[in-house]
Amino acid sequence: MRPRRRFSPAQASVLLGAVAILAFSLAPYLWTVLSSLRPEAEIGLPRLLPGRWTLENYTYVLRNTAFPRFFLNSSIVAATTIVLGLALAVPAAYAFSRYRFKGRQVLKFTLLLCYVFPSILLVTPLYSTMHRLGLIDTYLSMIVAYSTYAVPFCVWMLLGYFDAIPPDLEEAAMVDGARRFEAFLRVILPLAMPGVVATAVFIFIFAWNEYLFALFFTTGDTVRTLPVGLQTFLAGDINVKWGAVNASAVITTLPLALVFLVAQRQLIRGLTAGAFKG
């Protein structure tokens, strides 16, 4: 038997590239995880692995800080934003997909414009409005803002899924006596479910990660979300407990990592589909 063929130089360089990509994507994250698993006394030492593995940074964060509260707040805001965001985006996407009406192009263009609209312009006036309405330090301020900002991207993403379902299907159901709304619920929605789930995942990631509006809309710990809470741990530069900060960073990302494990296929598809290619 011939010995197994060695890798050609071209194949070897591709594999080398793949290893480099993995290292580039994961190394910063791994360093944070490793730093979160060592005792505070070991935190500045130039060694890769902890001398003593410990979860004390995690117990400290969960017992002695407002972090559990931030986690709860983020969960409430993200869950509600998903529901409200879908409630706004699903009917809109269905209308664009199934009806031809006056002003359709203009409205679609408006959506595209909102997608590229510089959000920095909205922070100050929206903060001033929320302040006037007494909505500072409420979940509502964040939920309303996030679900609206998610609309353009979500409509575009859902539109792709709705357009892929042949209109004959719901017309057949309607011939059988179902009203359009029933036909939508019984025929279209189940078929578009993968798209709806993918859209929900995107809303979740957006709402969970959002920082700037949350920073302006919250003044205390009661409704503060994780990203803003995490940043407050860094205030007072000198005495930053880096072990605890790293543990908080890991906890903040954990739900996203789970979602990403479960839904990575939809994520990749949504990412490339939702990029507004015209």
Partner 1 sequence: MQSSPRARAVPYLLLAPAFTAILLIVAYPFGNAVWLSLHQAQLLRPHRTAFVGLAHFQRAFADPVFWEAVWNTGIWAAGTVATQLFIGLLIALVLNESFPGRGLVRATILLPWVTPSVVCAVIFMWMFNGSFGVINHLLRGAGIIDKPFPWLANSTTALPSAMTALIWHGFPFFALMILAALQAIPVELYEAARVDGAGPWRAFCHITLPLIMPTLLILTLLRTIWVSNHVDIPFVMTGGGPGYSSTTLALRTITIARVELDFGYASALSLLLATVLLGCAALYFTYLRYREQGDRP
Residue from 127, 137, 194, 197 in contact with partner 1 (CB under 8 A)? 127
Nearest-CA neighbor of 253 among 245, 212, 220?
Answer: 245
Q: Which is nearer to partner 1, 64 or 99 (CB)?
A: 99
Q: Shortest gap between Cβ of 234 and partner 1 (angstroms)?
A: 7
Q: Shortest gap between Cβ of 228 and partner 1 (angstroms)?
A: 8
Q: Which is nearer to partner 1, 126 or 200 (CB)?
A: 126
Nearest-CA neighbor of 155 among 199, 187, 117, 190?
Answer: 199
CA angle 105/109/111 to nearest 5° reads 120
Residue from 142, 155, 159, 187 in contact with partner 1 (CB under 8 A)? 155
Which residue stretches of 135-188 are H helix? 139-163, 168-175, 180-183
Q: Confirm or reject binding of residue 275 to partner 1 (CB under 8 A).
A: yes
Buried/exposed code over 205-239 (b: 16+ C-beta within 10 A; e: otherwise): bbbbbbeebbbbbbeebebbbbbbbbeebeeeeee
The two most distant CA atoms of the chain are separated, in Å, by 82
Q: Which stretch binds partner 1 (CB under 8 A): 18-26, 49-57, 63-71, 186-194?
A: 18-26
Q: Which is nearer to partner 1, 110 or 222 (CB)?
A: 110
| CA distances to 118, 148, 207, 228 from 122, in Å | 8, 12, 17, 19
Report the C-alpha gap between 154 and 159 in whole angstroms: 8
The rounded Cα 144 to chain-centroid distance in angstroms is 16
Q: Is the dihedral of CA 19, 25, 29, 31 positive or negative?
A: positive
Residue from 128, 190, 219, 262 in contact with partner 1 (CB under 8 A)? 128
Number of residues that bind partner 1 (CB under 8 A): 94
Q: Which is nearer to partner 1, 65 or 231 (CB)?
A: 231
Site for partner 1 in 220-259 (CB under 8 A): 226-228, 230-231, 234, 242, 245-246, 248-249, 252-253, 256-257, 259
Site for partner 1 in 158-197 (CB under 8 A): 180
Asked if 150 contacts 203 with a C-beta cutoff of 8 angstroms, the reply is yes
Residue from 61, 142, 144, 223 in contact with partner 1 (CB under 8 A)? 144
Residue from 122, 140, 189, 191 in contact with partner 1 (CB under 8 A)? 122
Q: Which is nearer to partner 1, 1 or 48 (CB)?
A: 48
Q: Which stretch binds partner 1 (CB under 8 A): 16-24, 56-64, 75-83, 189-197?
A: 16-24
Q: Confirm or reject binding of residue 153 to partner 1 (CB under 8 A).
A: no
Residue from 3, 125, 177, 236 in contact with partner 1 (CB under 8 A)? 125
Q: Shortest gap between Cβ of 43 and partner 1 (angstroms)?
A: 7
Site for partner 1 in 206-225 (CB under 8 A): 208-209, 211-212, 215-216
Asked if 157 contacts 202 with a C-beta cutoff of 8 angstroms, the reply is yes
Report the C-alpha gap between 259 and 208 in whole angstroms: 12
Q: Which is nearer to partner 1, 111 or 192 (CB)?
A: 111
Report the C-alpha gap between 170 and 182 in whole angstroms: 9
Site for partner 1 in 42-81 (CB under 8 A): 43-46
